[in-house]
Amino acid sequence: MRAQRVELFVCPMTTPADTDGLQALVDSGKIKPDTLVALVGKTEGTGAHDDWGRVWADVALREWTSKFLAIPVTEVAKQVIFVLSGGCPGVITPHIVAVTRELVEVQDEGPHGGADGRLVVGRAGSDAMSPEEVGRMGQIRKVAEATRKAMDDAGLTNPRDVHLVMVKVPGLTTASIKDAESRGKTVVSHDLTFGPEGAGAYANDAAALGVAMALGEVPESALSDAVVRRDWDLYSEVAMTSSGGEKRHGEVVLFGNSSTSQSAVRIGHAVTKDFIDAEGVRNALRSAGLHFSSGLPSETELSRLVHVFAKSVIPGSDQIRGQRITLLDDSDAYQIGKALGGMLIASVTGRTANYVSGGERNSHQGPPGGNIVAAVVRAD
Amino acid sequence: MRAQRVELFVCPMTTPADTDGLQALVDSGKIKPDTLVALVGKTEGTGAHDDWGRVWADVALREWTSKFLAIPVTEVAKQVIFVLSGGCPGVITPHIVAVTRELVEVQDEGPHGGADGRLVVGRAGSDAMSPEEVGRMGQIRKVAEATRKAMDDAGLTNPRDVHLVMVKVPGLTTASIKDAESRGKTVVSHDLTFGPEGAGAYANDAAALGVAMALGEVPESALSDAVVRRDWDLYSEVAMTSSGGEKRHGEVVLFGNSSTSQSAVRIGHAVTKDFIDAEGVRNALRSAGLHFSSGLPSETELSRLVHVFAKSVIPGSDQIRGQRITLLDDSDAYQIGKALGGMLIASVTGRTANYVSGGERNSHQGPPGGNIVAAVVRAD
Amino acid sequence: MRAQRVELFVCPMTTPADTDGLQALVDSGKIKPDTLVALVGKTEGTGAHDDWGRVWADVALREWTSKFLAIPVTEVAKQVIFVLSGGCPGVITPHIVAVTRELVEVQDEGPHGGADGRLVVGRAGSDAMSPEEVGRMGQIRKVAEATRKAMDDAGLTNPRDVHLVMVKVPGLTTASIKDAESRGKTVVSHDLTFGPEGAGAYANDAAALGVAMALGEVPESALSDAVVRRDWDLYSEVAMTSSGGEKRHGEVVLFGNSSTSQSAVRIGHAVTKDFIDAEGVRNALRSAGLHFSSGLPSETELSRLVHVFAKSVIPGSDQIRGQRITLLDDSDAYQIGKALGGMLIASVTGRTANYVSGGERNSHQGPPGGNIVAAVVRAD
Amino acid sequence: MRAQRVELFVCPMTTPADTDGLQALVDSGKIKPDTLVALVGKTEGTGAHDDWGRVWADVALREWTSKFLAIPVTEVAKQVIFVLSGGCPGVITPHIVAVTRELVEVQDEGPHGGADGRLVVGRAGSDAMSPEEVGRMGQIRKVAEATRKAMDDAGLTNPRDVHLVMVKVPGLTTASIKDAESRGKTVVSHDLTFGPEGAGAYANDAAALGVAMALGEVPESALSDAVVRRDWDLYSEVAMTSSGGEKRHGEVVLFGNSSTSQSAVRIGHAVTKDFIDAEGVRNALRSAGLHFSSGLPSETELSRLVHVFAKSVIPGSDQIRGQRITLLDDSDAYQIGKALGGMLIASVTGRTANYVSGGERNSHQGPPGGNIVAAVVRAD
């Protein structure tokens, strides 16, 4: 039988257009045109809507990938999924993670059976989503369907083996709103931002609920247009989602562990119980396989850490453990909220090259007040 | 003999002008006109130069204190030292700490002798500082002298018993620069900000070196005008300083432990080795007397924590543990740097009502890249 | 018969709590307890949701007024309408305008009949508005009713004589949303901000449409919940509105000209055709009575200018006169948009103590892309 | 004899990397490899130190130019001077201006003799500047020398014919400071920003004084290290300067009018008397040749306007015409100051595609409180 061998390569970037790290991986034979499945990273810049650092990184990385794969730039998206999250405030090192997957022939189930699975990755695209579906059940169902396909592509059948689902979906634009309304349809919001009633927030949250539906975290019967960004008790513990106006289809890249995998690494995840919960971060490390029953991981254990993916959604309440904070009133909350997530991770792991996205207020990505943390470690 | 009994009361504030917590302490007899020696706190607002939240808090607290002490507002500063640090970005709860001190008659050295000292506090004012002394040896020497007086007022003779020295000194203003130059003197900077060459930064750092000189952390022979904000290897591990243009004298409030103290609380401190060093925070808790030889403090131990005072100076380097960060380039670095310090403390203690000042780049307050953390705990 | 004599006194403020200018007016007999009808001004600070400069100013001015009127602070709002707009970015001088009105006995219609009316002012409160009415027809109708009452109080019958209607209405809060939903009602938005879909923006715009309805600028038949913040062709040319969560009733202060008025000043208004239309500002000066048929007003004419009230709503388009601007993408757009309005006025009048509110995107306060400018001048 | 024919082509940009406008000019034959002498423009982005919009624009424009000229990217700077100013806050349209110059054979002095000169352009590089010269007399003298060479290249001998001198000079970097100090030299500042004592500000201002010295606006005898950023009465009325740490040489591009020029356009300039002085902008239009003795230019006259270049330096005082403003205290002053300059120009010209740089506090570029405005118009 054929089994996956998945690897993650973390490349710090010195500018948004820095592809030297990736090129070095190519030159040393670590990534090949047919093994590169995703580029996931944090780009420096404002992290805002018009973040030219992120846009430039996207252009530069696509050009590089196009040359590497020897295909036109417009074809790159069909082969490699890009998840670039803008903004590295505080202690977040700009970096790109190359995710590679090769299929290797194995005799039987391989040596990693049972509870000790290893990393697999699956990808899938969704059907096209119309503007009137954005932030609503149409988007939820199409993401759920794509998530199931990505599980299938990963060779996973048990949702409990899934630890991270990164999703990109269409948002709304002035043009797509006009299109929908010209056809007599309504849209979920006229606010194009990621604010509390913003179309971007609705799209992200519908995508998260789609993952939750696919993985059985939320029953389909509990879902409707009316619960999106209203019923925060419905959420996924593994969905990290983003949206962009220019897209028409959803894209899913899903990470889990499989007993058949031949990877040297495995993944785990946990959720924080609130915004300052360092123990939630440590639980993610434990889930991934770092050994420390209580207290702190040793430097030796930490040396097995490959990467951390974390959300840093701002709590919707002005209280943390009964004490008031003023973050909700802060005009810089988006930046500061993201920066604080970076500190929470770095202060536990001692590493700053972490994928931390967030800054928005409330989300179906993780429980109310808490956030998702996934970790990939080298198996011991 | 007479011994100090010092207590700290932490009052969360719901607005910058909220004195309800203080009034409740008065009403319950916990603070009295002759025991209140300092009000130290974090005020909500921008934390910037023109932070009206801080200014309003200052006005409201002085008015309240004036009524409480039954003295004119202009006399308040002579009896109670105010240290208000503006800006509560992220997870810093706006609050005020009332520091009280009463002298009690004891038979002999008291029950707290030996290594297990208890909290004492000392205060002192400095001689007037001229504009041309700001940020230079003149200011350093006058702060050193006031620090020695404050040690004396605290009843301390060994610098090792000193764990926190809060200092306020004069900075420069357009008017004071004009005054100095009209007398043929130069001033340290024409930049009135807290930027890298700002007069505010020079004043704060001269004050820190003054503390370091008084406590023997830096020999006087190593000090000169030329080392201020140049030789970062010279620093205090216990000085937290601030400056304001309107002042003419320095003010010092100094915290330490004494074997004669009858206080129920004690203080300790440590420095972080870098910006993400949670272990440095834990070391401060250990220094103050929380018991956890390795790993994490238990909730029971944490329940003895009374307050944390921390600096969050931004490192002058763009590297943390060999990884690049972009904080130095960030136009919001001042806010984000302060917020990150708040997260580092809160993620360790589980409490957000911490005194965290900072955001400036480089300082003689703490070692290069690291920061000072002091903690007060209830003795077990 | 009794006729109004209205005066405006512009007092620059040196801090948010500066009442010296008002006190000087009292001391010189220019304002009296029974003549003060409104305090309208710009307060320094961030201009954001948690602008402590504005809050402090509000507290300080109410305390001052309470003492001046010898009534409790809680009664002040019944006698004097406060319209404080936070944020003085750029070239906007912090100031407060005291509006006084006295009734004087005149023989007959007085000397100012015909087209050359003089300033009158009227005030009115509205019925209580429930959370479910905010941003909807309920609020529109209640503001319309209050506007009619304020016209009546001003002694005006022709809407064409009305040149400025300042309105404050309830917005939404977390608590009022919960209240409405617990009663099975929906609210217009869960976004509490002044963003494109924010409850604050809906409240302000419903208030503007209420003024438009009362003055016949928009027929009632054209109004419905569905047009608020959707159909920008419906607007008032004289409404400047604001909202706050803590309020339950609307308040209206209305300015117009009346032939019976004994005032020394008169008011006029115009709208700008787009965001850079200085001629629109000049048209407002002409409307108020400055004489300059074309070109620029002379310094002599400008010396008759008493005050300018202007909105600076950001256009919803990224085009001005066919050229692209990036203001819609700017995270500082709220501040910059307000600042630019201040420059547009100051560059025409040579004065910086102008009332300029704005920064929000799109509004029924003024035509699409344009803004309202009202001016008060001393009659020649 | 050979005479210059200079043209300016203003190309709006839709993204920082948009070269479509330039390419269209090439395709239509309007710019040729041997006529392109400078690219001057405003790029969208933050306008801050780490503005990736500006960096991306620089990379993209150099790549485009490299292909257009068929030379390596590293050679581009030798043939085409780039002056890219980052940040388009408010009503500044992102754009690039291609400056072309061809030499044409004329019979004699040509038809444009006498007072009615036409546009000429001159370029020159300076000798290398060491770090210890930055912001001091060394830099001043080398810029003066390069300015004289650029006048020569423009064919101008009378400084009164010079209306705009754009200069780029080396600033300081961490590395260059270390280099200087290792050789026993001091540098002007350790602050690498454009703040009041920042090395960037010193470099820009030394460059401005260099222009002033070359053009006789300031006598060499009045110049010394000590006057830079101290004596604001010394200034140029035509210098617009910028600096960058990576450079070693200064670059000058100088615009003036010559009676021998065969250009269809001419240039003029004026200075504003203060930050809100729209008449100063109109004076620049008049100086360039728009006809309107008083009042406002007609639309017909404005249709001859080709481009405006303006500084928007923030005044060092908190007073404008006797009224207080709070801009000096504003943490967004850099952005807002630039935006206000854009509004001042646009409100006079009705055009938003203006070159407006600024936001810094005080400068030798223009008189105290005022700013430089240069305009290019099509001759009538």
Per residue in C122-139, pLDDT (tens digit) is 999 999 999 999 999 999
| Closest by Cβ to A89, choosing from B276, B294, B330 | B330
Which pLDDT score is estimated for D1? 82
ipTM: 0.95
Which of D44, D46, D56 lies closest to A56 in CB terms?
D56
Tens digit of pLDDT for each residue in B274-320? 999 999 999 999 999 999 987 899 999 999 999 999 999 999 999 99
Average pLDDT of the residues in B116-122: 94
Region A89-111: what's the mean pLDDT? Answer: 89
- Return the closest-CA partner of residue B169 out of B134, B196, B215, B137: B134
Predicted local distance difference test score (pLDDT) of residue D114: 47
Closest Cα partner for A167 from A311, A315, A281? A311
**What per-residue confidence (pLDDT) applies to B114?**
47
Distance in angstroms (rounded) separating the CA atoms of residues A119 and A105: 16
Question: Mean pLDDT over all residues of chain B?
Answer: 94
Q: What is the pLDDT of residue C113?
A: 45
In angstroms, what separates the C-alpha of B169 from chain D's closest C-alpha? 21
Q: What is the mean pLDDT of residues C278-290?
A: 97
Partner-chain contact A93 B323, CB within 8 Å: yes
**pLDDT at residue B110, rounded to an integer:** 52
Note down pLDDT in tens along chain D; length 380 residues. Answer: 899 999 999 999 999 999 999 999 999 999 999 999 999 999 999 988 779 999 999 999 999 999 999 999 999 999 999 999 999 999 999 999 999 999 999 876 555 544 579 999 999 999 999 999 999 999 999 999 999 999 999 999 999 999 999 999 999 998 999 999 999 999 999 888 888 889 999 999 999 999 999 999 999 999 999 999 999 999 999 999 999 877 899 999 999 999 999 999 999 999 999 999 999 999 999 999 999 987 899 999 999 999 999 999 999 999 999 999 999 888 889 999 999 999 999 999 999 999 999 999 999 999 999 999 999 999 98
Is pLDDT of C182 > 80?
yes
How far is it, in rounded angstroms, from Cα A19 to Cα C268? 61
β-bridge partners, C172:
none
Distance to chain A for B221, nearest Cα, Å: 37
C51: nearest CA in chain B?
A: B45
Q: Do C52 and B50 touch (CB under 8 A)?
A: no
The H or E element containing residue C245 is none
CB contacts of B277 in chain A (<8 Å) are 347
What is the share, in percent, of chain C residues with pLDDT greater than 70? 98
For residue A220, what are its two tokens?
Answer: 């389909």
Closest C-alpha among A325, A276, A275, A333 to residue B353: A325
Identify the residue with better confidence: A244 or D228: D228
Q: Are residues B343 and A344, on separate chains, in Cβ contact within 8 Å?
A: yes
Which residue in the block uniquely carries the two structure tokens 């001759």?
A: D379
pLDDT of A116 over the 80 cut: no
Nearest CA-CA distance, residue B196 and chain D, Å: 5
Nearest residue of chain B to residue A335 (CA atoms): B336
Q: In a mutagenesis test of the C interface, which of B18, B42, B52 is the best target, namely the one with the most C β-carbons within 10 Å?
A: B52
Instruction: From C370, C364, C359, select the one nearest C273 (Cα to Cα).
Output: C370
- CA–CA dist C142, C146 (Å, integer): 6
Tell me if A44 and D59 make a contact (CB, 8 A cut-off): no
DSSP string, B221-262: GG--GGGTTT-TT--BSSEEEEEETT--EEEEEEEEEETT--
Burial classification of residue D294, based on how many CB atoms lie within 10 Å of its CB (0-12 exposed, 13-18 middle, 19 or more buried) = exposed
Q: Which of B71-80, B213-222, C326-335 has the lowest mean pLDDT?
A: C326-335
Closest CA to D84 of D237, D218, D206, D251: D251
The H-assigned helical ranges of chain C are: 20-27, 52-69, 76-79, 137-154, 174-182, 199-214, 278-288, 299-302, 333-349
pLDDT at C96 over 80: yes
Nearest-CA distance D333 → chain B (Å): 12
What proportion of chain A, given as a percentage, has pLDDT over 70? 98
User: C353 pLDDT exceeds 70?
Assistant: yes
For residue C108, the model assigns a pLDDT of: 67
* Set of chain A residues whose Cβ sits within 8 Å of the Cβ of C331: 46, 48-49
CA–CA min distance C62, chain B (Å)? 15
3-class state of residue C127 by DSSP? strand
Of the pLDDT bands very low, low, confident and very high (cuts 50, 70, 90), residue C83 is very high
Q: Which residues contact B226 (CB under 8 A, 6 or more apart)?
A: none
> Can you tell me the distance from the alpha carbon of A212 to that of A206, in angstroms, rounded to the nearest whole number?
10
Active-site residue, selected from the candidate residues D149, D168, D311, D338: D168
Phi, then psi, of A279 in degrees rounded to 5:
-65, -30
Which of B189, B331, B362 should be substituted to probe chain D, the one whose Cβ sees the most D Cβ atoms within 10 Å?
B331
**Which residues lie across from B102 on neighbouring strands?**
B5
Q: What is the pLDDT of residue A193?
A: 81
Nearest CB partner across the interface for A276, out of B277, B327, B346: B346
- Which pLDDT score, from 0 to 100, does residue D111 have? 53
Active site residue D178: no
Name the more confident of A258 and C195.
A258
Q: What's residue B108's pLDDT? A: 67
CA distance B294 to B304: 18
Is B278's CB within 8 Å of A278's CB? yes
Is residue A24 pLDDT above 90, yes or no? yes
**Average pLDDT estimate for C174-190:** 93
Q: Is the pLDDT of residue C174 over 90?
A: no
pLDDT on residue A113: 45
Between these two residues, C299 and A48, which has the higher pLDDT value?
C299
Mean pLDDT of B14-34: 97
Using a CB-CB cut-off of 8 Å, the residues of chain A touching B15 are: none
- Is the distance from CB of D11 to CB of D95 less than 8 angstroms? yes
Catalytic residues of A: 168, 242
pLDDT score for D113: 44
